[in-house]
Amino acid sequence: MHRLKNIQSDAIRPLFDRYQLELHEVASSNQIPYSFWGTPEAGRQRSTLYARADTPLHSLLHEACHFICMPPLLRHQSDIDAGSSAQEENACCYLQIILSDYIPGFNQNIHLHDMNTWGYNFRLGSSARWFYADSDDARNWLIHYDIIKKDNQPTWKLRQSI
């Protein structure tokens, strides 16, 4: 499982900067605030992401993607539970896989493996099979909200509409 300590934290900051997200690194002896699953999983309070050295990168990206995919009014109000629909949750999973290629030392193949190791659960049995064969609804959702382009490249925009 690839964790924040496996990359230089400065390597992930340019990605987060594009979405006005701030990474706050928590000391290894402290609990991670606002974590839905509990430490060592990432936490999010509005536009601040919380992580420790042992936080899985997939968890950190997933919380970032919730912020990106949320309706504007919720983005600066929600903490811990994004309260999203199943479609939005799938879109977050899809987007986090795409964004993994923008972190030096991480990529989609590593990310998909880590998602399986953690226990992400998809109909086709693996994260990779879902991503490549069963995720059109998630991809179309992201295109609809102008978060990715039809070629799967990020637009670097936050969701702007309800």
The Cβ of residue 126 has, within 10 Å, a number of other Cβ atoms equal to 16
The predicted-structure confidence for 25-72, as pLDDT tens digits, reads as follows 999 999 999 998 899 999 999 999 999 999 999 999 999 999 999 999
At residue 15, the 3 state secondary structure works out as: helix
Helix (H) or strand (E) holding 90: helix 86-99
Number of domains in the chain: 1
C-alpha separations of 126 from 85, 116, 123, 140, 154 in Å: 21, 6, 8, 20, 24
Q: Is beta strand 48-51 parallel, antiparallel or unpaired with respect to 43-45?
A: antiparallel
Q: Which domain holds residue 33?
A: 1-162
The Cβ of residue 122 has, within 10 Å, a number of other Cβ atoms equal to 18
Cα 100 from Cα 106, distance rounded (Å): 6
The predicted-structure confidence for 92-149, as pLDDT tens digits, reads as follows 999 999 999 999 999 999 999 999 998 777 777 899 999 999 999 999 999 999 999 9
> What is the DSSP secondary structure assignment for residue 119, as one 8-state letter?
T
